[in-house]
Structure 1
């Protein structure tokens, strides 16, 4: 119980700094990819900031892993935290966790379960798509035979990949670009499945309640629908 209290206090103290680190990492990475002609001094500073945010997430993961007292259980219950440490481009998804923590501070969450799932999936899709577009553009620009010539091409590719449409007019040709593409495909399927399943469940629940009430809203039980 004491370990749980210490873990809770640690999360309360670090959620805002880690949120700032997530935003800072994404901003620095975007500047490194999109800004052309920056001096070596600025480039060294941006790299130092990105490595510094990585160190913060490593320390946070190790501290929480140590405080749980159940190390294997913590690894299984928090896969996103481990992925954030291993894959830097997933670091901005910690913003979603901060939003979830803020929701649970209230006695009852402000949004319904279905609305929270859709909100989390939408925010995750935007962050994952932007980070993936940056990674693909960084890997593909200047490569022989590439079709990703501008950042707009990378954004278009990210949108079509996350939505599982895959037009094929813009495709990565480098090994790193295709590796990012595989991750984007998996993320798109997971997010699309979460939204579709949540929306379908909400429709079923709504229709079931209407039937239990005797028809559409406004009709008394047993009355014929107008």
Structure 2
């Protein structure tokens, strides 16, 4: 069995468990960040879940690296997977890819290309926004001179950042918070460009079909 087929089989078998793990990671991290009044035992349990699931991500990455047979080239050819291992809060975004693979495997009808781009971009924005809001709130809420004191402030900031509006009423002041901000800005621009480009392409196709049809009675 060649490396490509072994890698494909591994990805098919681990896709759904890792997608569930992604949600567990995000949920346990959210409970740790937002559950200020929880007993220490519950917070320790959430920390354990977070660490175990992150370990699953690392094992998956190393196995796929080994099965790919690409050596060091795997790192830059799969740069998103590399980033996700370093910044596991981004892992839930891969759920979109897993859903697409499951639909394809079971032969379910797929949405039109333009609609898929818009739907998947919307899901990615939601997951990125929630993860970014959690990360920034975690770093900012207790920092001196911080303007982001509540999770509501952080969620508002994440929405404004992903939408590339940038009101400036609240902003990160810590180095890690600003690093998250840079990442959200880049993701917001990329996703906005994808949706805008897909919608524009769809409009052009609609108008083109209308022009080709000609006026009634011609």
> How far apart are the structure 2 equivalents of 1:175 and 1:62?
30
> How far apart are the structure 2 equivalents of 1:44 and 1:189?
37
User: Cα offset for 1:111?
Assistant: 0.5
Alignment CA distance shift 1:74-1:86 (3 Å): same
Report the 3-state secondary structure (helix = DSSP H, G, I; strand = E; otherwise coil) of the residue aligned with 1:164. coil
Partner of 1:209: 209
Compare 102-111 and 133-142 and name the one that shifted more: 102-111
Alignment CA distance shift 1:116-1:73 (3 Å): farther
> How far apart are the structure 1 equivalents of 2:206 and 2:76?
34
Report the 3-state secondary structure (helix = DSSP H, G, I; strand = E; otherwise coil) of the residue aligned with 1:142. coil
Partner of 1:135: 135
Report the 3-state secondary structure (helix = DSSP H, G, I; strand = E; otherwise coil) of the residue aligned with 1:71. coil
Partner of 2:182: 182
> How far apart are the structure 2 equivalents of 1:136 and 1:192?
21
- Give per-residue Cα distances to partners, 1:161-190, cap 9 Å, x unaligned: 000000000111111111111111011001
Over aligned residue pairs, what C-alpha RMSD do you find? Answer: 1.7
- Give per-residue Cα distances to partners, 1:82-130, cap 9 Å, x unaligned: 1110112211112112112123225575101111111111100000000
Normalising to structure 1: TM-score of the pair?
0.90
> How far apart are the structure 2 equivalents of 1:185 and 1:40?
35
Is 1:98 the counterpart of 2:137? The answer is no
Partner of 1:194: 194
Normalising to structure 2: TM-score of the pair?
0.94
User: Cα offset for 1:75?
Assistant: 3.3
> How far apart are the structure 1 equivalents of 2:196 and 2:72?
32
Larger radius of gyration: 1
> How far apart are the structure 1 equivalents of 2:105 and 2:15?
13
User: Cα offset for 1:57?
Assistant: 0.8
User: Cα offset for 1:36?
Assistant: 1.3
Report the 3-state secondary structure (helix = DSSP H, G, I; strand = E; otherwise coil) of the residue aligned with 1:173. coil
Partner of 1:28: 28
* Aligned residues between the structures: 218
Report the 3-state secondary structure (helix = DSSP H, G, I; strand = E; otherwise coil) of the residue aligned with 2:172. coil
Report the 3-state secondary structure (helix = DSSP H, G, I; strand = E; otherwise coil) of the residue aligned with 1:37. coil
User: Cα offset for 1:43?
Assistant: 1.8
User: Cα offset for 1:41?
Assistant: 2.0
- Unpaired runs of at least 5, structure 1: none
5 Å-filtered alignment, 1:73-152, equals 74-105=74-105, 107=107, 109-152=109-152
